[in-house]
Amino acid sequence: MILRDLLRLLGSAKRDGRNLTHEEAFRAFELLFAGGQSEIQIGAFLIALRWKGVTVEELTAFAKAARAHATIPCKEMRDLVVVAPPQDGMDSFPPLEVAGGLIAAAAGARVLVITDRCVPPKRGLTAASVLERLGLDMTWDPSEAEDWVAKARFAVVSASGLLPGLMGLRRVRGEIGVRTPLATVEKLIAPDKAAIVIGAQGGPVLGVAVEVLQALGHARAIAIQGPEGGVVPSTKRKTRGIELADGFQVPLTVEPNDLGLCCGEEPELPMFGPPDDGYGSGDNKALVEACGDMTAAVLAGEGGSARCAALLSAALILKAAGRAPTVADGVSLATEALDSGEPRRILERLKSLS
């Protein structure tokens, strides 16, 4: 069965199409990651899925196909939390998951952030951009990522480094110009035994994300609808989420006011005009520098909304790791870790390893 045959199964209208079976969905994404498919057929297939809407069974099969083709680090590592933000990045809310991840690592968790840079259609700022400004590049090598986590409890790795087939799809994604189920699948490239903190866009996808993680066999996970679908909660209003804990799905609300971290404003990226190259903020040098400097200020102990957001992010990671029974406990652990200066020492340790 080739991609054209699978596209026919989806149909051209709801009355003559159907959902894919697990085997058909797995085969479809195997074909996408293996390469050699027509860009027109790939684009049509992804748009057909977006139009139809994807089922939990389809997304689970897509994710299993991605994992089968990927080289995934830290498979046997205990206490690992994978942080999975939107791969196409952020436009206005800074990607503070680097700060949150370093703080959580300083509090004892093992943290692997999976990201990329300048991914279409958004091509926004990502953790990779922030890390570069802090003087450390993300790694493309799964073995190196595992080494960093083992020795420093923190790493940022390229999703395309884990699954090179993603690179071949970027031109198609840029031409389509809208998110497709691929944007969800690439956030699910993670060890089967790891806990996951995953960002979800607004709407019903929150519940779908948790159901897929449960179907994939994860014991612990948190899906959170942060600003722009990110993994960092809002500092201005409550953020909705769902926690998966030992097979049970539990609604989760992060209310910054109840946690003493309400700032009345969100941490925002400055407006520097159009991007340097016309592609997106991920290539805008001024924005990269501003976001990196914001993270550096958080790690240096400065106050403000960025600090509050980073602490909330770290609290969720610690809760997913099982180190904090509540978000409030996670905030307390995160605050103590940040004030100790250990996150900056972890960053320096990583520089010596790279």
Q: What is the pLDDT of residue 274?
A: 45
Q: Give per-residue pLDDT as tens, 224-263.
A: 999 999 999 999 999 999 999 988 999 999 999 999 998 8
Asked if omega into 121 is within 30° of 0 (cis), the reply is: yes
Q: What is the pLDDT of residue 218?
A: 96
Based on the fold, state whether residues 168 and 139 are members of the same structural domain: yes
Say if residue 103 is in the same domain as residue 41: no
Residues of the chain with pLDDT > 70: what percent? Answer: 95
Count of domains observed in the chain: 2
Q: Write the CATH number for 60.
A: 1.20.970.10
pLDDT value of position 280: 64
Classify residue 344: in a domain, yes or no: yes
Tell me: do 182 and 64 sit in the same domain. Answer: no
Query: Domain residues for 171?
Result: 80-353
- Identify whether residues 113 and 52 lie together within a single domain: no
Q: State the pLDDT at residue 233.
A: 97
Mark whether 18 and 90 lie in a shared domain. no
**Domain assignment of residue 74, yes or no:** no
Tell me the pLDDT tens digit for each residue of 206-218. 999 999 999 999 9
Low-confidence ranges of the chain (pLDDT < 50): 273-279
The pLDDT, as a whole number, for residue 16 is 67
